[in-house]
Amino acid sequence: MQILQQLTQAASTRVGGAKSVKLKANLKDAYDENLYTEMMRELRDNPATTVLYNNLVDLAILQGTYQSAISIKNIIPIEDYSKKVQDAINSTASDLNLDNFSKFGAFERNNWKDENVFKKITTIVPSLYNEGFNSNDEFIVDVQFEQFPTIEGLSQEGVKNVLVLDRFDNFADVGSDYILIPRVINNGKQKIDIITGKPVTRADYGKRKAAGDTSLNDVMGFQKVRFDNGEELARGSNVYYKAINLWGDGQYATEMYNDTRRSVFNNGTVQIENEIPSQKIINHVMGVTEEVVPLQDKAEEINPDDNLNFKPGPCKK
Give kind and range of the element (H or E) at residue 128.
Answer: strand 128-133
Same domain, 6 and 40: yes
Say if residue 146 is in the same domain as residue 246: yes
Same domain, 74 and 213: no
Domain identity same for 139 and 57? no
Its pTM stands at 0.71
Do 106 and 243 reside in the same domain of the chain? yes
Percent of the chain with pLDDT over 70: 87
Nearest residue to 127 (alpha-carbon basis) of 169, 155, 161, 157: 169
Same domain, 248 and 117: yes
Residues 53-101: tens digit of each pLDDT: 999 999 988 887 667 788 898 899 989 988 888 877 776 665 656 777 7
CA distance 56 to 59: 5
Domain enclosing residue 63, as ranges: 2-90
Shared-domain flag, residues 32 and 122: no
Q: List Cβ neighbours of 33 (8 Å cut-off, separation of 6 or more).
A: 27, 74, 75
The answer to whether 214 and 265 are in contact (CB under 8 A) is no
Alpha-carbon distance of 268 to 14, in angstroms, equals 8
pLDDT above 90 for 119? yes
pLDDT above 50: residue 315: no
- pLDDT given at position 42: 94
Boundary-marking domain end, from 33, 65, 90: 90
82 and 189 belong to one structural domain: no
Residue where one domain finishes, among candidates 63, 90, 117:
90
Q: Determine the 3-state secondary structure of 192 from DSSP.
A: strand
Q: Domain tally for the chain?
A: 2
> pLDDT digits over 216-243, tens only?
999 999 999 999 999 999 999 999 999 9
CA angle 107/110/111 to nearest 5° reads 85
Whether residues 174 and 220 share a domain: the answer is: yes
Residue 181 pLDDT: 96
Binning pLDDT at 50, 70 and 90, where does residue 254 land?
confident
Q: Are residues 227 and 287 in the same domain?
A: yes
Q: If you count DSSP H runs as helices and E runs as strands, how many of each does the chain have, helices first?
A: 9, 13
- Residue at 96 is within a domain: no
